[in-house]
Amino acid sequence: PPAAMPPSALKQVLLNLMRNAAEALQPGGRLLLALAGQVVVDGHACAELRLVDNGPGLPPERTSNLFAPRPSAKGGNHQGIGLSVVHDILTQWKSSILCRSQSGSGTTFQIFIPLDHSR
């Protein structure tokens, strides 16, 4: 069954996460996007998406409040709201996100999107 989220919302989530990874990766770095399959989260069937990179990982001070809007340390036109927007969109569609990050080993985001069984 399809995800219970409009394609435009999912596209925005993935674009924000992929942009962040692309900006963090060194030349030759890799980003993997995978549909890991169907899982049950809090009793609801969900599609699980994974974004895994081999970048530098997130600084510990950033992970403590990962989805809060804050000034970006990237400079330029970065507003520091990308992950906040991701979280807001996912919350609106009763979806959830997990982050695992290890210094020097990369970052993984897992997204759980409820499936729409009404179609």
pLDDT in tens, 55-87: 999 888 888 888 887 665 555 555 567 899 999
Phi/psi at 102 (5° precision): -135, 130
Global confidence as pTM: 0.86
**Closest among 116, 102, 66, 91 to 13, alpha carbons compared:** 91
- CA 117 to chain CA centroid, nearest Å: 24
Return d(Cα 89, Cα 94) in angstroms, integer. Answer: 9
Burial letters for 19-56: b for 16+ Cβ neighbours within 10 Å, e otherwise?
ebbeebbeeeeebeeeeeeeeeeeeeebbbbebbbbbb
- Asked if 25 and 55 count as a contact pair (C-beta separation under 8 A), the reply is yes
pLDDT in tens, 16-35: 999 989 988 999 999 999 99
Instruction: Output the six-digit token pair for 50.
Output: 């994974």
- Does pLDDT of 91 surpass 90? yes
CA distances in angstroms from 35 to 56, 58, 60, listed in the order given: 23, 23, 27
pLDDT in tens, 35-52: 988 999 999 999 999 999
**Closest among 115, 73, 90, 71 to 16, alpha carbons compared:** 90
